[in-house]
Structure 1
Amino acid sequence: MATRSETDGFAAFFRQYTKTWMHAVATAGLTAFGTLTIVHRGFVVLAIASYVVPPIVLYLSRTRGPGASTTAGDDDSRSPTEAALADQSGSSADRGTAIDRSEPAAATSPEAHSPDGREPQSTTVGEATDRESGIDRQEPETDDPAPEIDRKAPVTGEQEAGTGTEPHWATVDVPTGATLADAAVADGGAVAVGEGGTVLVTTGDDWELALEDGPGAQGRDLRAVDATPGADVAWIAGDGGAVGRLELGSGRHADYSAPADLTDNLTGLAVAGATDDETILLTNGSGEVIRGRYRDGELAWDDPVTPGSGSSLSGIALVDDAIGYCCDTNDGVFRTDDGGRTFDAIGIDGADGTLTDLAAGSGNDLHVATDAGVVHRYDGSTWTPDRVTDGALTAIARHDDRLVATDGSRAVHDRPDPTADWERVLTGASGSLHGVTIGPDRSIAVGADGTVVERR
């Protein structure tokens, strides 16, 4: 596992600090002294000091105080996630010895592995450039030279896509330069959505522009898409309450924008059920879930529910029309057993980083990604962290036992089964990747400037 820099260490510490009572008190002090500046400008110094000094003192005392230690054995100053990752690093070091010996072979003849089979797919929530709200998720791409093993990353190796005979990741041409936020695999095809209401569809090898300006021709940025299992129907959602239903085979689409008369920016979407008997869950930046039921051409929306504290929901997935999960940006993960009518909190305590996305499997199997490069696995009772990379993970998807995550660069992280290590694969994408989806026959990652890469 790579060693974090002091800057990274303080950033991780400050994320945890902002969730403590000490941060709340410091914020109150900042507000109080800031108000007193109308009496005397000198209070501005106290206002700034009351907010800035406490975290600096706490961080320095933790890392450099008499009792501080950087050894793996000092459990008192570590969060549950840090302790678990430290325990994992010992065993992964043993595996790394064998991996290092096999690096030359991996560099000369890389292989991509993927088991076959089906499992309910999960929705990934990528974020495109938001022209209205000013959000820009793009990160500078890296110019990687020849394929090489990344000795710092906690994975088996780094491969250049397209250099083996097995299925591999390769860029494909699409008729748009718009930033794409999310994608979904449907029966016999796939859909990708992005800025300005762009909707791309493929039912074979070529991608076509199905919608240029979204449902209702409003030109709203689209952020999420999901498809009904085993069918050619996809639902799309985005800014301003934009919602639409699309039939891939016929090309027909319907506008269902402003669900429950809400025009909030929708951040996530999950769909389950058979065609014409579909359950739809939408999420927004206010921490709400809006549940819809589509039956034989009629769509009805329930009143929104708030699973957590109101923090923005960053991921949602349905296993079937009853069981589903969602996560927010305040370490909250929630499960529903009634199709999104109600939710129960299931974690995570002491997560490393902010939760960015999740991928659900059968039973109680769940994986949640964070912006600290960690994937947390839930087995129904216990959370187990697994470090994938040192950078932020933007999206995660699964099919059967296979997991794929994107990290905002032009690479994907692939893990074929629970016994394997994560492998970083260079896709050849021209821009950063924001969303990923996995199906039985193809996997797709999408991102900036109309980037689409497929694994077939």
Structure 2
Amino acid sequence: MSDRTDVSRRGVLKGIGAAVATAGLSGVGAAASSDDSPWHVAETPTGNTLHDVEPTVGGAYAVGGGGVVIEQGAEGWTKTLDGGPTGNGNSLYGAATTDEGRTLWMVGSSGAIGEYDVETGNLNDHSAPMDVTNNFNDVAVTGPAGDANVYVAGDSGKIYYSFENGETGTWDYVTPGSGAALPAIDFHGHRAGHVVDTNGKVFATDDGATWEAIGIGDANVNFYGVDSDAADDVTVVGGGGMVFRYDGAQWTPTDLGDKSLRAVAYDDGDGYTVGGGGAVFDATGGRWDREQTPSGGNLKDVAAGDEMMEFDGEGIVVGDAVAVGAGGLVLEQ
């Protein structure tokens, strides 16, 4: 999940609806369906698994299986694209926006990379950089539309990056670790961020090109999600319900139970992490509580808190969070 810079941050996911007060359950109790749940299931135009959700100036967008892209508007969720940037139906696993939220970047299977202008509807295909057709799992983007730094993480253990908006001939790559798959990448500055691999490692960069391992020793779980807010402010989630927080000197683990956690949005003690079986945990002041949800579907991503921003003072504060997952599932708060 990518972090944007140089914008003021407020909750602005357009069309979500008024925020509902949370009714979290302390600890890791069962997440049963309830009329008291702060979440509701939204109707969507796809049954494909949705892997990532991002706020933009045009509302929230989610990407998923078969290259589907759906958009949240005044009349609910509608389908924006089918087939991905190439039109070949390659599944999309990651998405991110430029600083002002005008351009949505998306990545996926068989080297799929797309750049979609949410204002004009223009789609640019940047697939197979350097003729690479590996599966890409996540993308981080920093800078303005048309002049962005793009970082793509995938199954090969390599990060493909371009400091010139993904133009042909501007890509390079680096292998941060041993070659283990990289499921998630996130940036807190134009060339500063973090990536996790499936070998229990977290890597940091401050130049966008060279990476240093910063942990996590003896984690003993697979990592799936990362939120990078500063060099000394990183959150990682993974298997076994584990959350790890980094303060620049050490990692502090928190065990939330047995649900595999797939994504996290966390800022200054507040946020969400989501995962298997419809699991949603809400953080307030650094304390994690299990929330009731109306679905047991596996959740893949969440946008909340610092992920939902006011772009150029035009945003409307209408909601707290949105989570996406299996079978076209969208939960809104």
Change (3 A) 1:254 1:400: farther
Q: 1:444 to 1:149 in 2, by over 3 A?
A: closer
Q: Give the Cα separation in 2 of the matches to 1:378 and 1:451.
A: 31
CA distance in 2, matches of 1:203, 1:149: 28
Whole-Å separation in 2 of the counterparts to 1:231 and 1:149: 31
Name the residue aligned to 1:449. Answer: 327
TM-score relative to the length of structure 1: 0.62
Question: Which letter maps to 2:294?
Answer: G
Residue pair 1:158, 1:423 contacting (<8 A) in 2 also = no
Give the equivalent residue in structure 2 for 1:433: 299
| Aligned residue in 2 for 1:283 | 153
CA apart distance, 1:412: 0.9
Tell me the residue number matched to 1:163.
36
Q: In 1, distance between residues paired with 2:32 and 2:296?
A: 16
Q: Which residue of 1 aligns with 2:9?
A: 118
Provide the C-alpha distance between the structure 2 equivalents of 1:252 and 1:429, rounded to a whole number of angstroms: 35
Q: Encode CA deviations 1:321-340: one digit per residue, 9 max, x unaligned.
A: 1211001111111001012x
Any stretches of 5+ residues in structure 1 without a counterpart? 1-116, 120-147
SS in 2 for 1:366: strand
Q: How far 1:149 sits from its partner (Å)?
A: 8.3
Task: Describe the shift of the 1:400–1:118 C-alpha distance in structure 2 as closer, same or farther (beyond 3 A).
Answer: farther
Unmatched runs of 5 consecutive residues or more in structure 2: 1-7, 11-22, 310-316
The letter of the residue matching 1:371 is: G
Say whether residues 1:350 and 2:218 are aligned partners.
yes
Match of 1:198 in 2: 68
Partner residue of 2:288?
Answer: 422
- Could you report, residue by residue, the CA deviation over 1:209-232 in whole angstroms, capped at 9, with x for unpaired residues? 111111121101111111123322
The SS at the match of 2:172 is coil
* Aligned: 1:387 with 2:255: yes
Q: What is the deviation of 1:356?
A: 1.5
Residue pair 2:259, 2:277 contacting (<8 A) in 1 also: no
Equivalent in the alignment of 1:312:
181
Could you say which structure has the larger radius of gyration?
A: 1
Conserved? CA contact 2:32–2:294, under 8 Å:
no
Runs of 4+ in 1 over 4 A off after TM superposition: 148-151, 157-162, 297-300
Percent identity of equivalent pairs: 34
Separation in 2, partners of 1:230, 1:161: 37
Q: CA deviation at 1:389?
A: 2.1
Normalized per residue, the structure richer in strand is 2
8 Å CA contact 1:403, 1:417 repeated in 2: no
- C-alpha distance in structure 1 between counterparts of 2:223 and 2:135, whole Å: 19
Deviation, 1:294, is 3.7
2-structure distance, mates of 1:204, 1:380: 42
Q: Determine if contact 2:141/2:149 at 8 Å carries over to the other structure.
A: yes
2:278 paired with 1:410: yes
Q: 1:108-130 deviations in whole A, cap 9, x for unaligned?
A: xxxxxxxxx728xxxxxxxxxxx
User: How big is the shift at 1:317?
Assistant: 0.3
Structure 2 length as normaliser, TM-score?
0.83
Q: Distance in 2 between matches of 1:347 and 1:302?
A: 28
Structure with the larger RCO, 1 or 2 (CA within 8 Å, 6+ apart): 2
Pairs aligned (count)? 303
Contact 2:193 2:230 in 1 (8 A): no
Cα distance in 2, alignment partners of residues 368 and 386 from structure 1: 10
SS in 2 for 1:409: helix
Cα pair 2:25 2:292 within 8 Å, conserved: no
Letter in 2 for 1:254: N
SS at match of 2:66: helix
Aligned partner of 1:241 in structure 2 is 111
Q: CA deviation at 1:304?
A: 1.5
Residue 293 of structure 2 aligns with an amino acid whose one-letter code is: T
Q: Which residue of 2 aligns with 1:335?
A: 204
**Alpha-carbon distance change, 302 to 252 in structure 1, aligned in 2, over 3 angstroms:** closer
Deviation at 1:349, TM superposition (A): 0.6
Report the AA paired with residue 451 of structure 1. L
* 1:279 shift after superposition: 1.0
Q: What is the CA–CA distance in structure 2 between the aligned matches of 1:392 and 1:251, rounded to whole Å?
A: 36
